[in-house]
């Protein structure tokens, strides 16, 4: 199978002003990043967030996506990924398709089942067991597809009951659907339904930490991709595999940084260096590692945090020819 061309995204959580946000997304577009993403988290600093070990996100995803689309021309705009339990499905569908329409067809629609338990608790949303949340995600995927299709909607499943109307606006193009997660059940759903499968930690613990990181070793990432392949069957070749390189440090001597992360996540230095969600080293070594991983995993779409936007730029330029 011919390797897919590399694509690179940036994920950002926060900005203190419209000027800062504009500068960041316009710079990502100028460098040649393919996509600019937010996450979808709601709570600010405080005891609830502290127990998750998750960074604060001070921007609401939907308006920040719309703002990013308005100040750019070509870059895809997305969310890795919308937590379906944080949004009324009809409002999410209409908001997403409005962004696609007004951006000239640049939406990447990412959906996930949710995982940050303390955030659910803090905002008073029931945190159902994983199977129920993933079933609800499947229901909402069905509904959003119906919203985007021509004709009157008729959706009646366990989570959504829409009838007697047509979804408007229609997307300008067919936005690629990204489904993200790290468990077998959600990745099999992604294999059946998604255009882009976003490989992530298995966040069964409900917090960021060693358990999640260790669930995404090289060996376990290969197992995750096998789940996707089995569920996708003949459509697997058309699926784009994406991964968040959350720990990206482009530098000549990464050994001290690797050692610190290995200690933090209770793994060996060599395992941390090869971790699919991490990139450490010079531009040359990072490019070589991404080529190796594309050959091993088939992963061609890599998203880095905005802290790496500039240091990672030479990698983008070299591997995309931009």
Q: What would the pLDDT profile of 47-89 be if each residue is shown by its tens digit?
A: 999 988 888 999 999 999 999 999 999 999 999 999 999 999 9
Q: Is the pLDDT of residue 27 over 80?
A: yes
pLDDT of residue 321: 83
- Average pLDDT on 98-115 reads 97
pLDDT of residue 2: 81
Q: Is the pLDDT of residue 5 over 80?
A: yes
* Range in 193-202, 234-243, 275-284 with the lowest mean pLDDT: 193-202
Backbone angles phi, psi at 58, to 5 degrees: -95, -5
Domains of the chain, residue spans: 7-320
Question: Residue 195: pLDDT band by 50, 70, 90 thresholds?
Answer: very high
pLDDT of residue 210: 73
pLDDT of residue 214: 83
- CATH superfamily of the domain spanning 7-320: Luciferase-like domain (3.20.20.30)
pLDDT of residue 199: 96
């Amino acid at each position: 199978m011919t390797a897919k061309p590399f694509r690179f995204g940036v994920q950002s959580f926060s900005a203190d002003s419209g000027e800062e946000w504009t500068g960041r997304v316009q710079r990502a577009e100028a460098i040649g990043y393919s996509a600019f993403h937010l996450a979808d988290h709601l709570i600010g600093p405080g005891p609830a967030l502290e127990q998750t070990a998750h960074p604060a996100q001070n921007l609401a995803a939907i308006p920040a996506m719309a703002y990013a689309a308005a100040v750019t021309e070509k870059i895809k705009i997305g969310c890795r990924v919308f937590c379906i339990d944080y949004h009324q499905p009809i409002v999410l569908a209409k908001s997403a398709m409005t962004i696609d329409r007004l951006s000239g067809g640049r939406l990447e629609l990412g959906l996930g089942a949710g995982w940050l338990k303390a955030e659910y608790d803090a905002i008073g949303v029931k945190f159902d067991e994983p199977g129920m949340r993933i079933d609800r995600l499947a229901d909402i995927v069905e509904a959003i597809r119906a919203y985007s299709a021509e004709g009157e909607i008729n959706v009646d499943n366990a989570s959504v009951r829409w009838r007697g109307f047509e979804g408007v606006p229609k997307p300008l193009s067919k936005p690629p659907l990204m489904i993200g997660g790290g468990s077998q059940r959600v990745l099999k759903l992604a294999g059946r339904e998604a255009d882009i499968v976003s490989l992530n930690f298995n966040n069964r613990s409900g917090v960021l930490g060693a358990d999640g990181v260790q669930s995404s070793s090289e060996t376990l990432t290969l197992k995750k991709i096998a789940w996707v392949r089995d569920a996708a069957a003949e459509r697997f070749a058309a699926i784009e595999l994406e991964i968040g390189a959350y720990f990206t440090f482009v530098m000549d001597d990464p050994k001290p940084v690797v050692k610190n992360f290995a200690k933090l996540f209770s793994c060996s230095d060599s395992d941390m260096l090869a971790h699919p969600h991490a990139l450490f080293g010079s531009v040359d070594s990072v490019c070589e590692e991404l080529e190796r991983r594309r050959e091993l995993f088939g992963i061609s779409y890599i998203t880095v945090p905005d802290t790496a936007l500039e240091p990672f730029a030479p990698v983008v330029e070299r591997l995309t020819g931009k």
